[in-house]
Every structure is written in structure tokens, then in C-alpha cells.
Chains A and B, each alone.
Chain A
Amino acid sequence: MATYILRRLIQAIPIMIGISIISFLIVNLTPGSPVDKFRSPRVSPETIQNLIRLYGLDQPLIIRFWSWFTHFWTFPFDKLAWGYSFTDGLAVRDKIFQRIPSTLLLMGTSLVVTIVLAIPIGILQAVKQYSWADKLITTFETVGYAMPTFWLGLILKQTFAVQLNWLPLYGQNALGKHDLPDMLMHLILPVTTLAVISVAGWSRYMRASMLEVLRQDYIRTARSKGLNGGQVIRKHALRNALIPIVTLLGLTIPSLLSGAAITETVFSWPGLGWLGVQSVIDRDYPVVLAVVMIGGTMVIIGNLLADIAYAVVDPRIHY
């Protein structure tokens, strides 16, 4: 196992370098420059030149890449490892770390809600396959899965925040309020948006996985031994049916940190996803790069965790 993890970590290095090169090239080779917004008749060309030098944009691409890439990984020790934000001059690292708790809160809550709802729903559907409940839920899942996230967010906002006026429209806290109940009220709509769509996906997986397990011989054996139905489902079927869900969980972990760009933007939730979208609009290159790199790193870590978890929960798998 240890050698496997080590091997995977070594394999991740070229992928990490590839991600860095691609994102760096996209940011630097696309037309337009971060100093463009300062160009106006009132700003002298010398000032623009100074800005270009200040941002280091006059250096050759390779040198800029190398200095950015080598600095990037010193972030635990160096506050300025990710540079300064172009918009407000704050250290990018602090700007990003400041957003992480919000994203963790939002994504973590919706993940918990998803698991708590999707697994029992999937089990119910599999156990009562082709019943009216199964058919009804399947219809909801199909529609839920087809719904674009941002549209569901809008509908929820319109219904519960505007028409009914029960819940706040956007943000994490009302102005000047920092208490927990207020934040929970703000959390309800974005969490519902994310959860509806992922419950639709996850419960389908759970149903398929459970149906697969229920067909196995050992389930028939357990039943023929005279165990009651509930015990067979809980002890014999469920544990095996959860194995694919563990993989799904690993693949969802990246989003815990990188956030949900669309949902966060719809609800102005001050997380990493919204920061990413804002920084793209502002062409705040250091922040954009940091957000992409965090996203990429989390995907790699998530894949690795999924594979490790897979081996842990399923003794048939050895690496």
C-alpha cells in the first residue's frame, strides 16, 4: 500500500507540471493584458511601462513561468508565494485562505445532506424495484439531473427569497450580523441547490449498485438461511453496495475546496468558486492561477483518495 501511494504521488508530479504549464499558458498567451484597464488618456505611457515592470510582465515567458512555478509551492512558509492580487494588492494566499472556510462550509453541508438523502433513497428504490415509489423517484431523478444548477438556484431564489420572502436572497451573512442562525438561514438555498442535483445523481448510483448486489448469490444464501429481510439488506447488501459510493465520494472531495463556481456566484456565496469567477472577470491573473492550481491539485488528491479508500473498503482489491 505504501509503495502504491508513493508511486501514485510520483506519477502525480508530471500531471501537476502539465496543469501548471497549461494554465500558465492560457493566462499568458490569450490576448489582452492586466494593465489594459489602466490604459486611458490620463495615464501616461511611462506609467503603463512601470506597471508592466512592476507586475514582471516584461520578463520572457519561460522565466516568468519558472519563477511562478518554483515560488508556488513555498506557500506554507511564504505569504507572497502566490503573489499579490492585481485588484486590491492583497497577498493572493491570504485572499484565498480567507475564502476556504466558506467553501468548506457550503460544500461540506451539501455533501452531508446528499449522502444522508441519496443512500436511503437509492436503497428504497432498489429494494422496491419497479414499484410506484421507484418509478416516481426515478422520474424526479431524471428531471433533477437534467436541471441546470444555476437555473435551479434562480428558481429557489425567486420562490423562497423573493415571492415568499422566507429566506435571504444572497450572501453568507446579513449586513452587520455574524450569528449562527443568520448564517444557517443563508446556507439553506445554496445547499438545497447543490443537494437536489447531486442527490439525483447519487441515488441513481446507489440504486444501480444495490440492484447489482441484490442479484448476488450470497444474498440468496443469506435469505435462504432464514435471515429477515431487513438484516440481509443492512448487513449483507448495503455494505457491498456502498463500495462504488466510496469512489464517488473520493471524486467529490475536490469540490470541497475548489467550490462550486456557478452556485456560489448565483448566491454571491463568498467562497473560492465565486472568487475564481470574479478574478477571471477582473483578469486578476495571480488569483486565477492559484484557483486553477488548487482545483487541479484537489482533483489529483481526490482520485488518489478514491483509489485508496476503494482498497480499504474492498478487501478483494490489492495494489
Chain B
Amino acid sequence: MARSEGLPAGSTVRLSPADDFDEVDLVPVQTFWQLVRRRFLQNRMAVIGLVLMAILIASSIVFPIIGGDAWFKTSLVHGPKDPISLTAPMGYDNLGINIFFRLMKALQTSLIIGTFAVLIIAGIGTAVGSISGYAGGLVDNLMMRFVDIVLSLPGFFLVIMLVAFMGSGNVFVIIFAIGLTGWTTAARLVRAEFLRLREADFVQAAKALGASDRRIIVRHMIPSAMAPVVVASTLGIADSVVTEAALSFLTFGLRPPEASLGNMLTGAQDYFYRQPLWVYYPGILLILVVLAASFLGDGLRDALDPRQRIEA
């Protein structure tokens, strides 16, 4: 084992000259992550998801910078009747705000809220799931009953309640509310992994060496249990973004002048007849975010599953 240290990835260790022409040596050894990458890149939908997500993230960073304050700057000169131009590809809204830049700012807000909400979900889920799965027995039982309780509460309604009662329009409250209600699936996934890993040889070895529970959980088990959490988090971005949009649409979330895909839809409702396209812009963007996240998540799940075959 010690001899393999320091060799570049993909190298093989030859134990004796007699092994030199062993056919195993002719196949370059691939690490787990190299295999994951290959499996991921072979999956067309996964690559589409990755590219789409990259485009969405890049636009949400670049365009708000280019636009500057265009996303909230009202104008008396511009209006819905302005012809579409290169600087305003979607025209101007009733207040003379450039719709395209407002949309990009809203996308940025949505993605930020989605990402942080998912981080909270993954954090709480990992903490609860790992303690529950590692401890087992009464602790496990109590924690899982608590998960049952949270799962039985009507999810979206709970988010609305938390946001409305703790201060609507506050980004932190929205992130907190989505995170606090959505961690149960992640917790169950991590717990299932921990139940499996608890009996694994490397955990038993760490235990035999006298490692503390904390060290075993944090250093040995959590890294091995992360794959399902990464997948669930990627898929969870879609849910969080849609939840935020729904909150803002129902006027619990961000309110103008803040830009949100949800509150842009609320505004578009008043122009159903004259400006039918205004409803489509934020909606299609939402669908693209959901599709990108779910293709990416599904692709990661398949790529991280060692049982999936690699086609040569």
C-alpha cells in the first residue's frame, strides 16, 4: 500500500518483474471520480443539464453587472409601446423598467435563494441523518419520529406561515423558511447511508484504532455518505427556486422594487390582455432552471452509482 503513495493517478504498482505483462496492467486504472466523470459525460441529458445550468448561472452573474441599475430604474421616456431593441430585447414594462435586465436580476435572486436554501437543507439533513444513523437505538427512533412529524405537516403551507409571520419580503426569512421545512428527505438519505456504512470495514477499523465518534462521523463516514446528498441538493435547487417564486407570486416573498421571478408574474397578471408575453418570460426561465437542475441531478445520480455500466 505504501508504495503506491506519490505515484500519479492512473499508475499501477508492479509487485514483481513477472507481473510486467499481466494484462490487467495494460488497462489504465481509473479512480472513482474519473469513472464518475466518464459516466456523466456519456449521459446526453446530464450534459444538457450541466450546460443549461452553466448558461443560466453565467447570465445571472454577467447581465446584472452589464445592466447596472437598469433592473429597477424606472423611466418616463420608455414604456411598453417602445419597439424591441438590442439594449431592451424584451422591451420595457409599465414603469419603463428594462424587462430583460430585471429578469436577469430576478434569476440571480432566485438562484442565490435556491442555493442557500439547499445548503441549509443539506446541512440540517446531514447533521440529523448522520447522528440518527450512527447512534441508532432510542436516539435514532426519536429523531425519525420527529422527521415523521415534520413530513406530516403541510409543507408549502408551513413555508407560507413561517414567512408571513416572521417578516415577508425578507430574503433571509425566505431562505430560512424553505431550508427549515425541506430537510427531511436529505436526513433520511444520509441516515440510510450511515446505517449501511456503520458496518463497513473502514469504519470498524477506525473504531478499532480508537478514533472518537466525532472523528469517525466527520472524517470517515460523512465523505462517503455525501453522494446522495449532492444528488438530492441538486434536485432540491429546483424545488427551492419554485417555492421562492410561488411565495413571491402570492405576495409573501420579495416585493417590488426587489426583483423575483414570482413577483414579476404577479405584476404581469395586470397586463394579461395587452402584454401577453410578460407572463411567459419569467415562467420559461423558471422552467429552464427546474429542467437544468433535474437533468443535472439525475445525471449525477446515475454517474455516482458504481453499478452503472460504462459504455466503451
Bound pair (A, B): yes
Task: Give Cα distance in the complex from A27 to B158, angstroms.
Answer: 10
Question: Is the C-beta of A219 less than 8 angstroms from some C-beta in chain B?
Answer: no
Nearest-CB distance from A143 to chain B (Å)?
Answer: 7
Stretch at the interface among B26-34, B74-82, B145-153: B145-153
Q: Which of A146-165 contact B (CB under 8 A)?
A: 146-151, 154-155, 157-158, 162-163
Contact A26 B154 (CB under 8 A): no
Question: Is the C-beta of B161 less than 8 angstroms from some C-beta in chain A?
Answer: yes
Contact B276 A158 (CB under 8 A): yes
Question: Is the C-beta of A246 less than 8 angstroms from some C-beta in chain B?
Answer: no
Nearest-CB distance from A16 to chain B (Å)?
Answer: 8
Task: Give Cα distance in the complex from A262 to B266, angstroms.
Answer: 13
Contact B165 A262 (CB under 8 A): no
Question: Is the C-beta of A51 less than 8 angstroms from some C-beta in chain B?
Answer: no
How many A residues, CB 8 Å from partner? 41
Contact A300 B152 (CB under 8 A): yes
Contact A151 B153 (CB under 8 A): no
**Other-chain contact of B160, A30, A149, A261 (Cβ < 8 Å):** A261
**Other-chain contact of A30, B166, B280, B286, B291 (Cβ < 8 Å):** B166
Contact B265 A151 (CB under 8 A): yes
Question: Is the C-beta of A136 less than 8 angstroms from some C-beta in chain B?
Answer: no
Nearest-CB distance from A137 to chain B (Å)?
Answer: 16
Secondary structure type dominating chain B contacts: helix
Q: Which of A92-124 contact B (CB under 8 A)?
A: none
Question: Is the C-beta of A258 less than 8 angstroms from some C-beta in chain B?
Answer: yes
Task: Given the known inter-chain contacts A154-B279, A295-B153, please indicate yes or no for A31 contacting B272, CB distance below 8 A.
Answer: no
Question: Is the C-beta of B245 less than 8 angstroms from some C-beta in chain A?
Answer: yes
Contact A280 B161 (CB under 8 A): yes
Q: How does the 8 Å CB contact mask read for B172-188 relative to A, with 1 for contact and 0 for none?
A: 00000000000000000
Task: Given the known inter-chain contacts A26-B165, A151-B283, A162-B272, please indicate yes or no for A261 contacting B157, CB distance below 8 A.
Answer: yes
Question: Is the C-beta of A277 less than 8 angstroms from some C-beta in chain B?
Answer: yes
Task: Give Cα distance in the complex from A300 to B162, angstroms.
Answer: 22
Contact B279 A26 (CB under 8 A): no
**Other-chain contact of A19, B152, B245, B252, B272 (Cβ < 8 Å):** B152
Task: Given the known inter-chain contacts A15-B148, A162-B272, please indicate yes or no for A295 contacting B154, CB distance below 8 A.
Answer: yes
Question: Is the C-beta of B55 less than 8 angstroms from some C-beta in chain A?
Answer: no
Task: Give Cα distance in the complex from A281 to B153, angstroms.
Answer: 19
Nearest-CB distance from A268 to chain B (Å)?
Answer: 12
Contact B157 A291 (CB under 8 A): yes
Cβ contacts under 8 Å, B282 to chain A: 151
Cβ contacts under 8 Å, B290 to chain A: 146, 148
Task: Give Cα distance in the complex from A197 to B287, angstroms.
Answer: 13
Task: Given the known inter-chain contacts A14-B145, A148-B283, A154-B279, please indicate yes or no for A30 contacting B165, CB distance below 8 A.
Answer: yes
- A residues adjacent to B (C-beta < 8 A): 14-15, 18-19, 22-23, 26-27, 30-32, 142-143, 146-151, 154-155, 157-158, 162-163, 258, 261-262, 265, 276-277, 280-281, 283, 288, 291-292, 295-296, 299-300
- B residues adjacent to A (C-beta < 8 A): 145-146, 148-154, 156-158, 160-162, 164-167, 238, 242, 245-246, 249-250, 252, 265, 268-269, 272-273, 276, 279-280, 282-283, 286-287, 290-291, 294
24 A–B pairs (Cβ distance < 8 Å), ordered by A: A15-B148, A22-B150, A27-B161, A30-B162, A31-B167, A146-B238, A146-B287, A146-B291, A147-B287, A150-B249, A151-B283, A155-B280, A158-B279, A261-B156, A262-B156, A262-B250, A280-B157, A280-B161, A280-B165, A283-B165, A288-B161, A291-B157, A296-B154, A299-B151
